[in-house]
Amino acid sequence: MTHETLKVTWTDGLCRIALDRPDVGNAINTAMVEELGRVLARCEAEPGEGEKPISVVVIEGGAETFCAGGDFEAVAENGTAGDPGPLYDIWLKLAEGPFVSVCLVKGRVNAGGVGFVAACDIVIAEKTATFALSELLFGLFPACVLPFLIRRTGRQRAHYMTLMTRPVSAPDALASGLVDVIAENGEAALRQHLARLRHLQKPAIARYKTYMAGASGDPAKDRGRALAANREIFSDPKVLADIRRYVSDLTFPWED
């Protein structure tokens, strides 16, 4: 694949996607959304012969700006922001797709850029990163970002961030739950995470994320789904074979 707005690398079950519109702060436009859709579709698909399934997807931006949000120049020129559905579906894929999504943040994140962060399973931020929702300053509000942000931070923190419109520091984002890890060197922290995440098998990731997407957090309400999921897991021949192999040989599933 060739890309106009992204830099994409594929290595050993890992897909790294770098937003690549540096002249406009990696602002989101139609081409970027379309290209992201195609890349994530390939990540979801069954691998080709000799290829390893994609189990981890990393989203990253530039050193100074991760993503400045929507492309205001395009809105000013066209008189419309276009259909928000495809971008929302990108974030939904990051949140619920059959891979672990990791967001690596360096520098500034604004508006729609926060949607990428909030949608990912794991967020690693360097200490200089900042996060802001500036929409209300322009008479807008982050309608599509908020469902993902509320899931991560809770309703009141998302509400406060939206109303204040000012940048939130990386430590404050960590305290709110928007960020999982703060690091001096984001690349080094990413490597540490990948060393563990690459042991996970794609079918297990898919099954787990599907379950989590429907979990309410209420033990009474979730009882039926929890029991059904547990029974399904322990009736999977591959799972049982891996357990038996570990018991007999002390060999983990990823070991030859």
Amino acid sitting at position 153: T
Residue 152 maps to a domain: yes
Spatial separation of the C-alpha atoms in residues 75 and 53, rounded to whole Å:
38
Q: Does 210 fall in a domain?
A: no
Q: Are residues 156 and 115 in the same domain?
A: yes
Q: Does 233 fall in a domain?
A: yes
Quote the tokens at residue 189.
């922290």
Task: Tell me which residue of 46, 43, 72 sits closest to 59, measured CA to CA.
Answer: 43
In terms of domains, do 17 and 68 share one? yes
Together in a domain, 181 and 242: no
Closest alpha carbon to 104 in 18, 27, 175, 3: 18
Q: How far is the C-alpha of 113 from the C-alpha of 92, rounded, in Å? A: 14
Catalytic residues: 71, 135
**Structural domain contains residue 134:** yes
15 beta partners: 10, 57
Residue 109 structural domain: 6-197
Residue type, 237: P
**What is the three-class DSSP state of 171?**
helix
Sequence-distant (≥ 6) Cβ neighbours of residue 85 within 8 angstroms = none
pLDDT in tens, the chain (256 residues): 789 999 999 999 999 999 999 999 999 999 999 999 999 999 999 888 778 999 999 999 999 999 999 887 877 777 666 889 999 999 999 999 999 999 999 999 999 999 999 999 999 999 999 999 999 999 999 999 999 999 999 999 999 999 999 999 999 999 999 999 999 999 999 999 999 999 999 999 999 999 999 999 999 999 999 999 999 999 999 999 999 999 999 999 988 7
b vs e for 68-90, b when ≥16 Cβ sit within 10 Å of the residue's Cβ?
bbbbeebeeeeeebeeeeebbeb
* CATH number where 120 lies: 3.90.226.10
